[in-house]
A = this chain, B = another copy of it.
Amino acid sequence: MTIREVAKHAGVSVATVSAVINDNKYVSDELKHKVLQAIKELNYRPNRWAKSLATGKGYTIAYIVPDITNPIFSRITKGIQGVANEKNYSVILCSTNFDSPTRRRYVDWILEMRVDGVVFTGRHGRESLTEITRLQDAAIPVVTALAPSDVTDMDRVLLDDRESSRLAVRFLKESQCQRIAFVGVRQSTTSKERYRGYSDEIADYCPEQVAYGEDFTWDDGYQAAQQLTKNGALFDGVFAASDIMALGVIACLKEHGRDVPEDVQIMGFDNTYAQWSGQGFASMSIPAFEIGVKAAQMLFDRISEIEIPGMQELFMASLAVPRVRPSLNPNLNLNLKE
């Protein structure tokens, strides 16, 4: 079913049909009606490929993400998706599994698909930077989301991990914790920032006590807690760089006979589990959906406007207090709904 068949059926020219479809030229009501009629009768749908080829616009953006399985990232995806669809763009998903060759292949691909823009999420090592540069060299707009880096002239939306972490630690302080420890991930930029916030906030308050794992996992949290206790550290509060690590920490502490939250209070980060785990620990909620929305909006700004200086947007995480017995403490429950 092509536009020419529709034209023939309606007794008009292809230009007229095209004008009706795109509503970008005046067409008399009579012809317009005929054309619409013909389209309906033939159940015609314009061919996206032909349109893209002719106009040079693909109405597609790509989202490059290390792991779609990560709840934070899938919420970002949702945000991007929403904005894109509103503008009639489709989003193609590129989940790289933290693998550089895969990431490289995706970029090759994006290049030949003539995608209109890319949102990029993930660790921002040297090689990711190369990929981003390749995209930009091909004049494809890129916005990074949650991908901290030193490159400042890039459109990006970030989370203020440092400041958010100060809020987290401040909450522990306000909850009567005297000695607060930090559990993080050695090589992670994100974890480093969260440590910074911890360090800032703890400075004139108590000595630093820190333990690291290699990755944001339950096991690494468990092991880090093991280290802390093994070193005979005294603490009544732990700030962990992620919820899943916090759960590892809690498991370890309980094994050592320390009650949570009675003996030790725990603070997580990202609020992926805290709210639901029933372990009574607080966390920092990352506005991931909003971050996705913002990133997509910035991307579309870039796509339409030609030259705007490197935009930047900073989000804060918000405190999520553990769910409590709804009946006993109804007022605390108000804004904790997912």
Contact = CB atoms under 8 A, between A and B. Distances in A.
Given A81-B93, A222-B326, 16 more contacts: A49-B49, A49-B52, A49-B53, A49-B58, A53-B53, A60-B92, A68-B77, A69-B74, A69-B75, A77-B95, A81-B95, A244-B276, A247-B276, A255-B325, A273-B273, A273-B276
A91 interface: yes
Interface stretch (A110-118, A144-152, A162-170, A171-179): A110-118
23 contacts: A47-B112, A49-B53, A50-B53, A53-B53, A60-B92, A68-B68, A68-B81, A69-B75, A71-B74, A81-B93, A91-B92, A93-B93, A218-B276, A218-B323, A218-B338, A251-B278, A254-B278, A255-B327, A273-B277, A276-B277, A277-B277, A277-B278, A277-B279
B92 A46 contact: no
Interface string A13-50: 00000000000000000000000000000000111111
Contact of A114 (B49, B81, B92, B250): B49
A97 B14 CA distance: 38
A322 to B, nearest CB: 10
